[in-house]
Structure formats: C-alpha cells, structure tokens
C-alpha cells in the first residue's frame, strides 16, 4: 500500500509467467465484478458522484471506466490470439468517462456487463497454452510490443487498483 491516492495498492509491476500466478490472476479476474459490487454496495447517488481524490474521477465514473477498459482488454486479447502482432486501438479514457453514458447511466448496467464479460474472459484465459500467453500485440500508446501475459498482468492489477480507490474513499469518509 502507498500513501499516493492515485496508487493505493502501488504501481503495476511486471511478474514472470507461472502457473500459480496465472491461476491466481484468473481467479481474481473472475471475481472482480463481485469485488466492485461489494465496494459500491449501498452507496447513494451523492456518494457515487464523489471523486475518489482531488481531481480524480467520481466513483460512478470509476465503475464505468472499469467496464470500458475491460471491454477493450477482452477485444485486445481476441486480436492477439487471432492475428499476427496486431496493432491495438488506444483510446482516451478521460474523454470516455466524460461522456453521457459514464455520467448519467446507473452503475448497475456496467456491473451486469462486467459479470458477463469477466466470465467469458476468465474462461478464455483459462484455456490458453503457455505458448499463447507469449503471443504479441503492438500497443501504440506505449510504442511497444507486449506479450499477452504482460497485458494480462496490467489488467489483473487494474481492477484491484480501482476497487482500492473506492474502498479507500469509503474508509476515509466513514461510509
């Protein structure tokens, strides 16, 4: 844990491939929607409209961002598994969370999406061979080639990172 409110669980760190880590991360990914659901349980509209830190997104925007980000991630994995070194599409996450769907749509819609998406994604990831984990995508935002394993590491961290934003704010506010 850190004292930087942007990184309550610390910054993302690369980890080498291992069966144990793979199984743990897939399990965490499969259960992330429930973790998000529990983190926002019983929050009212005013609480959901509260930024998790000064200058940060609201809790509502965070939930919709997780759905946006993980939909993109699922598509990136599918591209990485079916094409040779595909160039994935980058997107401006700040603009996405500023759109009407993220500002006005109740979070239960993104929660439903996350439950379905994560079940499919976890099933896909559980089926991959060690060789498939080493397949490469080109990430234009990083201007680098990235293995599916390293991409997965980012998303294994990403969900926990945002759940911690929510739970840290709740603890700080006494919610």
Fold observed for domain 19-173 = 1.20.120
Return d(Cα 94, Cα 40) in angstroms, integer.
21
- Determine whether 47 is exposed, middle or buried from the number of CB atoms within 10 Å of its CB (0-12, 13-18, 19+): middle
Return d(Cα 1, Cα 66) in angstroms, integer.
21
Return d(Cα 97, Cα 88) in angstroms, integer.
20
Average pLDDT over residues 110-131: 98
Average pLDDT over residues 4-8: 89
For the stretch 125-133, contacts whose Cβ atoms lie closer than 8 Å and that sit 24 or more positions apart, written own/partner, are: 125/22, 125/26, 125/29, 125/77, 125/152, 126/26, 128/81, 130/17, 132/81, 133/17, 133/22
Token pair for residue 52?
């998790």
Average pLDDT over residues 45-52: 98
- Determine whether 81 is exposed, middle or buried from the number of CB atoms within 10 Å of its CB (0-12, 13-18, 19+): middle
How does the average pLDDT of the chain come out, rounded? 96
**The model's pTM:** 0.95
Dump pLDDT digits (tens) for 135-154: 999 999 889 999 999 999 99
Share of the chain above pLDDT 90, in %: 93
Return d(Cα 7, Cα 90) in angstroms, integer.
22
Domain map (residue ranges) of the chain = 19-173
Does the structure show a pLDDT above 70 at 1?
no
Token pair for residue 9?
């669980």
Does the structure show a pLDDT above 70 at 2?
no
Can you name the residues that pair with 51 across neighbouring β-strands? 58
pLDDT at 14: 85
Average pLDDT over residues 62-87: 98
pLDDT at 13: 87
Average pLDDT over residues 11-31: 94
């Amino acid at each position: 844990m850190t004292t930087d409110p942007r990184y309550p669980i610390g910054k993302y760190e690369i980890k080498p491939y291992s069966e144990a880590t793979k199984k743990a991360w897939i399990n965490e990914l499969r259960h992330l929607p429930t973790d998000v659901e529990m983190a926002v349980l019983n929050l009212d509209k005013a609480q959901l409209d509260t930024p998790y830190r000064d200058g940060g997104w609201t809790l509502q925007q965070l939930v919709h961002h997780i759905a946006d980000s993980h939909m993109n991630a699922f598509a990136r994995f599918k591209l990485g598994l079916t094409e040779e070194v595909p160039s994935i599409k980058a997107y401006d996450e700040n603009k996405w969370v500023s759109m009407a769907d993220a500002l006005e749509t109740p979070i239960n819609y993104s929660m439903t999406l996350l439950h379905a998406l994560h079940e499919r994604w976890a099933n896909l990831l559980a089926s991959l061979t060690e060789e498939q984990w080493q397949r490469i995508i080109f990430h234009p935002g990083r201007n680098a080639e990235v293995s599916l394993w390293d991409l997965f590491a980012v998303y294994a961290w990403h969900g926990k990172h945002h759940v911690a934003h929510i739970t840290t704010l709740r603890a700080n506010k006494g919610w």
